[in-house]
Structure 1
Amino acid sequence: MTSTPDPAAEGHHPLVGQPHREDEGEGTVAEAEAKAAEISSPERPLGRLGKRLNRRSPFFIGMTGAAGIAVTYGVIGLLAGAREVLIVVGLALFLAIGLEPVVSWLVNRRFPRWLAVTAVFAVALTALGGFLAAAIPVVVEQAAALLAALPDYARQAQDHSTFLGRLDERFHLRESVEASFGPGGGLTDGVLVAGKAVLDVVTDGLVLIVLTIYFVADLPRIRSAMYRLVPHSRRPRAILIGDDIFAKVGGYVLGNLAVSVIAGVLALVWLLATGIPYAALLAITVAVLDLVPVIGSVIAGLLVSLVAFTVSLPVGIATVAFFVVYQVVEDYVLVPRIIGIAVKVPALVTVVAVLLGGALLGVVGALVAIPVAAALLLLAEEVLYPRLDQA
């Protein structure tokens, strides 16, 4: 019984290009096959690794440059086409890193990771479900009351002796509303667009929750895979810097949520105390907008103040004063004590980062701008500045 020949023994695989002819390649291929048979061995049937290419050759340099341009152009095109999906994925990873300190805290207290992840999301989803169950009926009721009151507001806007009338006279608010929702203004289209927007938000929210759960559950493996992309000689330093960045992001996310909850609760107390209508709806709006640094709380204060002026001029002025005082307290007391410990970013860098993030990625960009700026500052202090000082 004859043994099966080694596929590379003759330098020509028995399952490729058969029948084999002696005149293949007029000697050039035959010579290469003979050489292939020589370098093939039982230990290395496919031969040893060849010599490196000459990276200084003009051909190699030209092809590398052309390939780099083509790949860069293709990657930019792919990123632009998948922008919305990448934003959801990036936000999910951002939230996963933000929840990681809580999960790791439980793991350090002898919780299995799967149990720690389950406990964190069970508490988070239960709190979210309870909040929605309590808030949605009130919000729907107050939103319906707001819609019912719109004709009265329209009449006030036509009366130039009222505050709304003076605002309309200066900014032409009624004309803008009529152009958007009046006859021929696309009311049906506006409703359809609003319905599609709500559906997109719900869908993206569900995808965001699922992705965040997966990212949190598999974050140790993701972390290891990221660090393996760093050269071995630089990996220890990269781990120290990277873990510090992760900790900053986690502290920022949890701290920002805490500050937003405080803003919503204080706003609700003020609205109920002063008798401003739609208290629950406005308080939720304040809490959500306060998640966006710098500009979020300002926009929320303006919206609530406009509603407060419909009650009376003194209530409106008092509401403006309340939000100004709260903004000072948040900027100089709450944020330094809750977020500033983890994320130390100068005020100027904070404002510039939020503006740039908002211009590039909208609300999501403004939300992640501060931890990204903190990461860049850390890299600059630990890597860039020491290199420049030694140059």
Structure 2
Amino acid sequence: MGEPEPTPYRSSADATAASAATSAGGEAVPTPDATTVALENQTPARTIWANLNHPFVIGFFLTFGGLVAFALGMAITSLVTIWIYIAFAMFAALGLDPLVRRLQARGMKRAWAITVVYFVFALVIIAILWLIVPTVIQQIAQFIRDLPGMIGDFQRSDLFAWLVTQFGDQAPDLLAELQKFLTDPNNVAAIGGGVLSIGLSIGTTISGIIIIIVLSLYFLASLPEIKQAFYRLWPARLRSTTTEITEQITESVGGYLGGMVVLAFFNSLVAFLLYLFLGLP
């Protein structure tokens, strides 16, 4: 009589599965394997909604969305000059803000501090224009007056003699035509795009400067409120870090502009001393 074969070990989960697989009538019910169970437990795939029953409506809305995006792009492109003005104004406001805060630290109200800073800034701009604009106009007039003499010196040079040797009598004629062209104010204006174009450019530049000054004054007056509104856009857990980084950036911009002003001052001072010692006009 042989020994009974050992019964394999069955876990409780296997026993439960085996009992569930047997029905009340004693018939075995097939149990799903592991692969089938894993596939059934997966997250159902997402389907993309698409209704092709109305292709004309879908095409119309897609075209309308494209036209709106194109119109927004054209609007942003046409306002590039305004965005540049805003950027320059904000940059100027951030550069002047450290001076305003220093005056506030001495007990002055922010409104009066802004007034003092802008008054000094306006005086500096007027002084720079008073020094530069007359000099530029004088140099242009001097160039026009000296042009015939410069052409005469060129006619006596070796280069002009070589040109006459190579091209014959055409070189003096071309030089005379060039002198006649450059000494005519109408031709000089035509080179710059015409009197109307020059006037429009000057008007656009002046209006742009006025817009930048007004916007920078507004940004400087409301800079604390702008910062607070920007901080509130961030979550509470990131607000302190954002505040610290923003303050560092604004202080860096002010320090950069201050350094550029000091550097420009010393450059102009060195150039003035060189002109004074060398006796240059």
With the shorter chain as reference, the TM-score category is: 0.5 to 0.7
Match of 2:143 in 1: 146
Instruction: Calculate the TM-score normalised by the size of structure 1.
Output: 0.45
- Alignment of structure 1 residues 163-312 onto 2, 5 Å: 187-188=189-190, 189-277=193-281
SS of 1:230's partner is coil
Distance of aligned partners of 1:99 and 1:242 in 2 relative to their CA distance in 1, 3 Å threshold? same
SS of 2:107's partner is coil
Match of 2:121 in 1: 124
- Contact 1:96/1:215 (<8 A) preserved: yes
Deviation at 1:272, TM superposition (A): 3.5
**CA distance in 2: counterparts of 1:186 and 1:96, whole angstroms:** 39
Deviation at 1:144, TM superposition (A): 2.3
Deviation at 1:158, TM superposition (A): 4.6
Asked if 1:100 is matched to 2:80, the reply is no
Distance of aligned partners of 1:70 and 1:221 in 2 relative to their CA distance in 1, 3 Å threshold? farther
Deviation at 1:220, TM superposition (A): 0.9
Q: Which amino acid aligns with 1:79?
A: I
**CA distance in 1: counterparts of 2:132 and 2:113, whole angstroms:** 28
How many residues align? The count is 207
Match of 1:337 in 2: none
Alignment deviations for residues 119-150 of structure 1 (CA, whole Å, 9 cap, x no partner): 10111112222343455444433442233223
**CA distance in 2: counterparts of 1:118 and 1:245, whole angstroms:** 24
- Alignment of structure 1 residues 323-338 onto 2, 5 Å: none
**CA distance in 2: counterparts of 1:260 and 1:159, whole angstroms:** 42
Alignment deviations for residues 211-238 of structure 1 (CA, whole Å, 9 cap, x no partner): 1111111111111122222233212111
Deviation at 1:275, TM superposition (A): 3.6
Larger relative contact order (CA 8 Å, sep ≥ 6): 2
**CA distance in 2: counterparts of 1:69 and 1:237, whole angstroms:** 39
Alignment deviations for residues 147-204 of structure 1 (CA, whole Å, 9 cap, x no partner): 3223333334455448xx9xxxxxxxx99x959x658967444443333222222221
- Contact 1:92/1:212 (<8 A) preserved: yes
Q: Bigger CA drift: 196-205 or 234-243?
A: 196-205
Larger Rg: 2
Match of 1:312 in 2: none
Distance of aligned partners of 1:154 and 1:242 in 2 relative to their CA distance in 1, 3 Å threshold? farther
Deviation at 1:271, TM superposition (A): 2.7
RMSD: 3.7
Q: Which amino acid aligns with 2:82?
A: V
Asked if 1:155 is matched to 2:156, the reply is no
**CA distance in 1: counterparts of 2:233 and 2:75, whole angstroms:** 22
Deviation at 1:252, TM superposition (A): 0.8
SS of 1:121's partner is helix
**How many percent of aligned residue pairs carry the same amino acid?**
28
Q: Which runs of 5+ in 2 are unaligned?
A: 1-45, 51-61, 163-173
- Contact 1:178/1:185 (<8 A) preserved: no
Instruction: Calculate the TM-score normalised by the size of structure 2.
Output: 0.61
Distance of aligned partners of 1:233 and 1:262 in 2 relative to their CA distance in 1, 3 Å threshold? same
User: Which of the numbers 65, 75, 81 marks the counterpart of 1:84?
Assistant: 81
